[in-house]
Amino acid sequence: MSPDPWTSFLNWLQTLIVPDWNAIIQMLPLLLILGVIGPILSLMMLGQVWYLLHRRRGHVRVAEIEPTPAERNADGDAVFPPNVPFCETHAIVYPPNARSCEIDGADLSVRCPIDDTVRGADQQLCRACGTRYVLGASQAPLVVRRTGHPPAGGAAVA
């Protein structure tokens, strides 16, 4: 007596399924690597990239807010770069957003890059040449000229 079509179909299906399961079991280590270790490695790499990006950004921020001792010339006098707040008493150069000395709270000074006139760091206008400066607008102190307009392309500087 020959089996009915349904039974023979099931038998045929079983010969298909059983070797497949064996193959899958043999491939388990590979599937483990692809399905578990792969994502873990990807996450670790993403985390590393995330960490590096944040660390880099953090370092820039720290460098921006830290006052640094002024450089000295051959005579030992403090040399203050133009357009940067500084305390003459303690020879410290401050970040662009600083307005008072951390040691004694005295108002900081800023030297005009055009005519070397020293003004208070809270004043944005040089009284001698009339140029307006915005301290702390970017990492490099920005010089704003009224005749200036944005460069072609207009892409924002990160």
Q: Which of 129, 134, 137, 140 binds Zn ion (CB under 5 A)?
A: 129
**What distance in Å separates the CA atoms of residue 23 and residue 14, rounded to the nearest whole number?**
14
Asked if 114 touches Zn ion (CB under 5 A), the answer is yes
Residue with tokens 């000395």: 101
Whole-number minimum distance, CB 146 to Zn ion, in Å? 15
Residue with tokens 């460069």: 151
C-alpha dist (Å) from residue 62 to 52, 74, 93:
15, 30, 15
Q: Which of 28, 115, 134, 137 binds Zn ion (CB under 5 A)?
A: 115
C-alpha dist (Å) from residue 75 to 87, 102, 138:
19, 26, 32
Whole-number minimum distance, CB 60 to Zn ion, in Å? 25
Stretch touching Zn ion by CB under 5 A, among 53-61, 70-78, 110-118, 139-147: 110-118
Q: Which of 78, 95, 99, 112 binds Zn ion (CB under 5 A)?
A: 112
Q: What part of residues 26-85 is at the interface with Zn ion (CB under 5 A)? A: none
- Phi then psi for 152, rounded to 5 degrees? -60, 145
Total of residues contacting Zn ion (CB under 5 A): 12
Asked if 128 touches Zn ion (CB under 5 A), the answer is yes
Asked if 90 touches Zn ion (CB under 5 A), the answer is yes
Name residues whose C-beta falls within 8 Å of residue 123's C-beta, 6 or more positions apart in sequence.
Answer: 110
User: Closer CB to Zn ion, residue 43 or residue 129?
Assistant: 129
Question: What Rg do the C-alpha atoms of the chain give, in angstroms?
Answer: 34
Per CB under 5 A, residues contacting Zn ion are 87, 89-90, 101, 103, 112, 114-115, 117, 126, 128-129
